[in-house]
Amino acid sequence: MIDPFTNKEGIVDIFIEDGVISKVQLKNKLKSLKTNSKPSSSVIEIEASGFYVFPGLIDMHTHLREPGYEYKETIRTGTLAAIRGGFTSICCMANTNPVNDNPEVTYYILAKAKEEGSCDVYPIGAITKGLKGEELSEMVMLKEAGCVAFSDDGMPLMNSLIMRRALEYSKTIDAPIISHCEDLYLSENGVMNEGKLSFYLGLKGIPKASEEIMVSRDVILSKHFKAPIHIAHVSTKGSVEIIKKAKEEGVHVTAETCPHYFTLTEEAVVSYNTNAKVNPPLRTEEDKEAIIEALKEGIIDVIASDHAPHHIDEKKVPFQEALNGISGVETAFALSLRLVHDGILNLKQLIEKFTINPSKILKINKNGIKEGAEADLIVVDIQREWIVDKEKFVSLGKNTPFDGWKLKGKVLFAFKGKKTFDLREQ
């Protein structure tokens, strides 16, 4: 077991009763425990020696698409896909239809998640009404309804004054603002990273400056107006440098990246592969390396999937017209484990980026694996190899550039409250 919440590591026996962890016992005390327990037919014993137990992973950036785009993904399929990927908690972005900019939508999502969901769902409210970037949404009421953070993800907040107001106002509710950093004027309908390759392919480019200018802006606003900012899906070396400097200056900034930004480069779109079309776009080797380094140094706090499922009809079109996004929740953790297998991060560092760090940023007070806490953990064979098969995705979104990849690390079981998921054969 590795648990960053309790800061405990070791070989343990974990007893779960009625969805609650009743005992976490170091292995050498096993004997006394066994005699104390009362075996009954309802007891399931899982022998997990050689495997790891981690707290359930948290994905602080997903798109569940419900309400409004149920043909892309539903709360039922999205949360089950999350479980399959090792996530027992996910945060869903506000760009649904209707937008999650009023408490009714938040209640709807939470009710649906309770009814049909497999994991915990933490909605992220819109910063502005309708994601229009004009008027602040009712952030206090949204928070009271259950939103844990605020973001206009997908529709970058271009107006710096509105961003200032959002940051200031967010202090009343103690919930972070998550910024999708993109200057839409500079992106100018671009569809991939701008550079030699975009010129070669005849595709309009999105310069790195488009992201970096907004990262700078948000860091400056955070600094001047003393409110936390979380930078979503960092994709460039320049952004890493800005965040690093800000952190050194004591600015309350946190950051996330996604597996595709430290696994792929713009080369993935060479064949006009629409499944590698994502926003921000895949960048260059230099950026990929800087992001890996930033994960190592702790400049980037969180790995999130930015799970963005789309229907096949939205990807089976010429590259320029394809929608942005990768269905990532089922591959995010296994792709990230490559950093461990390659000796870049140790396992604990990686698990922190999926558990305690997002929990702290979002202030969702996860407990980790400790007695008396709700069961919220996963069992992982980090050596088990498997082949990504998009047709086997539980997610309705089959849009992955990783189809056919051989990955190492498989979630075998997930425990979330009274729910137990046996994922061994999937």
Partner 1 sequence: MKDLIGIKDLSRQNIEEILNTAKAFKEVLNRDIKKVPTLRGKTAINLFFEPSTRTRTSFELAEKRLSLDVLNFSISMSSVVKGETLYDTLKTIEAYNVDYIVIRHSSSGAAKFVAENTTASVINAGDGINEHPTQALLDAFSILEVKGRIDGLKIAIVGDIIHSRVARSNLYLLSNFDTEIRFVGPPTLLPKDPPDNVKIFYDIKEGLKDVDVVMLLRIQLERQNAAFIPSLKEYFHVWGLKKDIFSYLKSDAIIMHPGPMNRGVEISTEVADSCRSIILRQVTNGIAIRMAVIYLLTPKER
For residue 165, give the amino acid letter.
R
Closer Cβ to partner 1, 100 or 279, answer by number: 279
Closest approach, Cβ 110 to partner 1, in A, equals 34
On whether the CB atoms of residues 121 and 79 are closer than 8 A, the answer is yes
Tell me the HSE value of 91 on the side-chain side, using a 13 A CA sphere: 30
281 class by beta-carbon count within 10 Å (0-12 exposed, 13-18 middle, 19+ buried): buried
When the beta carbons of 41 and 189 are compared against partner 1, the nearer one is 189
Least separation, in Å, of the C-beta of 331 and partner 1?
25
Beta carbon nearer to partner 1, 89 or 274: 274
Annotated active-site residue in 13, 306, 376, 422: 306
Binding site for partner 1 (CB under 8 A): 188, 194-196, 199-204, 207, 272, 313, 316-321
Looking at the Cβ atoms of 279 and 359, the one nearer to partner 1 is 279
- The residues with which 255 forms a beta bridge, in sequence order, are 231
Nearer to partner 1, 135 or 321 (CB): 321
Minimal distance, residue 321 CB to partner 1, in Å: 5
Place of tokens 């908690």: 89
Tally the residues of the chain: 426
Tell me if residue 306 is catalytic.
yes
Instruction: Single out the residue of 350, 355, 356 nearest to residue 335, CA to CA.
Output: 350
Alpha-helical (H) ranges within 190-258 are: 196-201, 208-225, 237-248
The residues near 273 (Cβ < 8 Å, ≥ 6 apart) are: 319, 401
Q: How far is the CB of 204 from partner 1 (least distance, A)?
A: 7
| Nearby residues of 355 by Cβ (< 8 Å), 6 or more positions away | 4, 5, 54, 55, 56, 57, 58, 366, 368
Q: What's the closest the beta carbon of residue 274 comes to partner 1, in angstroms?
A: 9
Structure tokens at 273: 């592969």
Q: How far apart are CA 57 and CA 378, in angstroms?
A: 8
Query: Can you tell me the distance from the alpha carbon of 339 to that of 337, in angstroms, rounded to the nearest whole number?
Result: 5
Close Cβ partners of 60 (under 8 Å, ≥ 6 residues apart) = 90, 91, 149, 178, 256, 302, 304, 358, 361, 362
Task: Tell me the three state secondary structure of residue 202.
Answer: coil
How far is the C-alpha of 220 from the C-alpha of 236, rounded, in Å?
18
Residue 30 or 317 having the CB closest to partner 1: 317
**Dist. CA 400–CA 310, nearest whole Å:** 10
CA–CA separation, 341 and 338 (whole Å): 5
Torsion sign over Cα 115, 314, 260, 178: negative
Which residue lies nearer to partner 1 by CB, 185 or 342? 185
The CB-of-317 to partner 1 minimum distance in angstroms stands at: 6
Min dist CB 99 to partner 1, Å, is 24
Catalytic residues: 306
